[in-house]
Each structure stands twice: as C-alpha cells, then as structure tokens.
Amino acid sequence: MNRRDLIAAAGACAALPSMVGAARGQPVPIGEPVRASVSFRVNGAGHHLELDTRTTLLDALREHLKLTGTKKGCDHGQCGACTVLVDGQRINSCLTLAVMNQGSEVTTIEGLGSVDNLHPMQAAFVKHDGFQCGYCTPGQICSAVAVLDEIKAGIPSHVSADLEGAMAVSEAELRERMSGNICRCGAYSNIVEAMTDVAGRQG
Amino acid sequence: MRAFTYEKAASPAEAATAAARNAEAKFVAGGTNLLDLMKLQIETPTHLIDVNGLGLDTIEATPEGGLRIGAMVRNTALAADARVRRDYAVLSRALLAGASGQLRNRATTAGNLLQRTRCPYFYDTAQPCNKRQPGSGCSALGGFSRQLGVVGTSDSCIATHPSDMAVAMRVLDATVETVKPDASTRSIPLAGLHRLPGSTPHLETALEPGELITAVTLPKPAGGRHIYRKVRDRASYAFALISVAAVIQRDGRGKVALGGVAPKPWRVEAAEAELPRGAKAAAKAMFAGARPTDENAFKLPLVERTLAAVLAEARG
C-alpha cells in the first residue's frame, strides 16, 4: 500500500456512517510517567540523562541534548530524516527508545563535521547541490556516510547482481541503499552525484 | 504513547518469566514495529522487557549441517552472513528486499517474524478492526483492499503478514526455538508459528503468554537455485503486492512460498508436485480456496506469471 492508497482509504473511511462509532477503540489511560536513567556518548561526549521511558533517542537528542540537527519528519520510520549512526550503523532514531541505547556511541550530523571543517560528504552535498529545503539533509548525509561504509564492508543490497562478489558504487546501488531517506524536494540525482564523488575520492 | 515501566532481562528464561507476570508486558527487540504501534496507541503495553542483551545475536552451525540463527541477529547481519549468502541465498535476497537499510540494521530475526499482521485499517484507530478491537468488524472487507490478502483470510480479517524474510524461511523449512516462563523449551516449525485469522484475528501466533523466541534454525542446505522475486508498487522500500520465494532443483522439482497474499507466509506443499508441469498448475493448487476481493483478484494471475518467470530463471 503506498501513501496515495492510504490517503484514499482514510478518506473513504471518513465517509462511513456513524454506526462504526460504537466500535471505536476506547481511549486507554496514559498512566503516570515512569522515569529511568541512561548513559550514552553523543559525538564523543558522555551524557547521563534521566528520562521518561517513552523518550525516543530522537527526542533525547533534540529536546534534551539540544542537538537539533537531527530532524523529526514522520516519527514512524518511514522518511529517514531522523537517521543517526549508533555504534557506526545507521538507524531511525525515532524508532528506538533512548533507554535501549545504554552505553552506545551515537553520531549525529553535528558530530560528522562543523561549519569550519565539513565532513567530505557534507562538502559534496554543498558542491553538488544535494538538497533544496534542507530538512531531510542531516538524515541523508548520515545515511550516505553509512551506505559507503556498508558497500566497503561488502554488505549486499537488493540490486546487487552477485550476492557474494565485491559490491559496486553504482547509481543503482546508491539509489536502492538510500531508499529509506525521502526527499520531497527531489534532490535525489544530486545526492547520488555527491555520494559518487565521495566514493571516488575514497577509492 | 501510554506510560510503561522498563527492564532489561538478564536471561531468556528470566525474560519469559517477567512477561508471564504481567499480561500487559511486551518484549522489545529492535522496536521498529512495536514503537511505531505504541506511538499510535494501537499497542499499549504497561511494561517493556528489553531482550537485546541476552546474547542471542550469533549465527552458529548446527550438528546437522544447518544454521542456528539467534533471535536478536539483525536483519542486515543475517542477510550479509557469508554462509547465508552462499547456502541460503533466497533468505539473503528476501531480507534485502524488505524495509530500508536503517530498519534492517535494527530489526531482529524474531521481531521480523513477530511483526504484526496488518493493514491500513488496523492503523486507523477511528475505524473498526477485528484485530485491533475484537468484534468491532472489518473495515477492509468492504474497503480498499488492493494490497490485502486473497487466501487464508476470513470474514473477520484479510490483513497480510508483511515479512519478506518469513517467506524465505518458510520455503527453507525453518524451525523456531522458544523458551517458556517455566524455563522449558520447544521447537515450532515455521509453518505452525503464524495462525490464520478465523474469527480471532487478534491472535496471530501459536506462542503462549510469555513465550520467547530464542532462535530460528535452518536445516542443512538443500542446494538448487534460490530465487526471491518481489512485485511492488515502487522499486524499493514498499510492501509486496506479491512475492515468490523458490528453491528449484535441476530436475524442475522444488519448493515455493508466497508473500503478500495471506495472513502468513503461504506455502502449499501439495502444490509443489505441480512445479515440473509449470506455473499455471502450481499457482492454481496454491490458491485452492482463495477468496480475493474485486480489488485484489489481480494477485492470482500476478503470482502465476511471477512464478513462471521464477521457474524460467531457475532453468536458465
């Protein structure tokens, strides 16, 4: 089911008569907030936080550590705007609880590079115009950095012709591997160019 | 999201015991499906038991020549394992056809199997759904059903199990290992893990309260051509309209399971005798008793044609 179907389904459902009212889910009591402590490192610095257990890693980064480079898009793992690196692997920070990441090493866009010292992928996104509004860009860049690492590590993808051979940095590979990062401005082709540029320089 | 208490389990048996103590407790592994549903208050556990630290994250050879995959092995790690790529390629291919790179890095083997069988009406809390609220009715039956199930469904529910991985595991004759709250263990053939909806679509698996999956075992490699072909509305990061997992031997015999068509990975062993005679006969046998809607009847010929392409690829 794609998004268009979902919207169509929701619209059609809204027109159903009120007989469905009795069948609607009863609201559940939310309950008293529960707090727990968690320690992890973010961009090289240690942090100890006392958090509501419901706090996602994304909200811990943005609301508690004020690292607002990581963006909240859909908050359901569909758009990739919240992509960060945890212990070197890219994940959706909206779909993991902060308390589940005890002892982890988190890298956000702020940890990849700075204004005066851009990460090569950040520089390549600027050079190739790999963004327009910029909202998805921190997630795109974190994902792009991890994708090149995954290819280097020989992790295959859906479009890899040979599961056991060396993995190539082709346009098809990059597009497939980046499919968890949505860009509504449609900067995809320039993102592929930026990634190809960085991969080429890495050799 | 409903408030919940949180604990890290120290052992699989302890996790199972903790879960049995509280009917509103849930295990959390990758969290990629559970947290999504908790945010929408479709899942409302009052206690989470984190099972990530139990050491169930390795892939080991079994004495029988197969593989024992720990329940917490991440989807990426499983797809990239050299033995899986070499001997169980259909499993690597299925994993790589599912979700996104970010999700596969966190999603686990057991969590993938136990993700909810679902449809858009299950996600819409303003609509009746027998799975979300038993007895409230099924919005999908008279609604938008293009993506939904055609076989194994019931008058109560036509949702599909969305996993690609599980379809490959079904064709590979995988077995699920579990531990129960009383510390006893058992093995469940994957064929018996997922229940058909019948009149109780809210009950999706054969697992008992508190029972925890600890591993999935694969029998020794069966050889043959391993093919996973997924047909979807966009080229990447979308659920299957239909998918075909196949292991086909040189003489044309083989095994086939389908995704995207049923509330569980769909395999009809009796239909496999038809494979040497071609896709038409095999697809017909797999869809015995199928009840498609007007919107998803296309899935039957789509499976037949995809299976024909898979068989041709296996011959080539």
pTM exceeding 0.90: yes
Integer Cα distance of B230 and A111 in angstroms: 38
Amino acid, res. B66: G
Residue of B nearest to A82 (CA): B102
Report which of B10, B113, B110 is spatially closest to residue B55, judged by C-alpha positions: B10
The burial class, CB within 10 Å (0-12 / 13-18 / 19+), for A160 is buried
What digits encode the pLDDT tens for the residues B160-211?
A: 999 999 999 999 999 999 999 999 999 999 999 999 999 999 999 999 999 9
CATH 2.60.120.10, applies to A120-202? no
Packing angle, helices B279-286 and B299-315, rounded to 10: 140
What digits encode the pLDDT tens for the residues B211-267?
A: 999 999 999 999 999 999 999 999 999 999 999 999 999 999 999 999 999 999 999
- Residues of chain A neighbouring B92 (CB-CB closer than 8 A): 156, 163
- Domains in chain B and their CATH numbers? 5-49 (3.30.43.10), 225-315 (3.30.390.50)
Question: CB–CB of A91 and B52 under 8 A?
Answer: no
User: B88, B226 in Cβ contact below 8 A?
Assistant: yes
What is each CA distance from B291 to A45, A71, B304, in whole angstroms? 58, 44, 16
Identify the three-state secondary structure at position A40: strand
d(CA A188, nearest CA chain B) in Å: 14
Q: Is the pLDDT of residue A98 over 60?
A: yes
- Choose the mutation target among B38, B102, B147 for the interface with A, i.e. most A CBs under 10 Å: B102
Q: Could you tell me which residues come within 8 angstroms of residue A132 by beta carbon, excluding any fewer than 6 positions away?
A: A185, A186, A187
Q: Across the A/B interface, how many CB contacts are shorter than 8 Å?
A: 173
Q: Is the pLDDT of residue A25 over 80?
A: no
Looking at chain A, which residues constitute the CATH 1.10.150.120 domain(s)?
120-202
Question: CB–CB of A25 and B132 under 8 A?
Answer: yes
- A35-111 fold: Ubiquitin-like (UB roll) (3.10.20)
pLDDT given at position B316? 85
- Choose the mutation target among B1, B57, B86, B100 for the interface with A, i.e. most A CBs under 10 Å: B100
A7 touches B: beta carbon within 8 Å: no
pLDDT given at position A201? 82
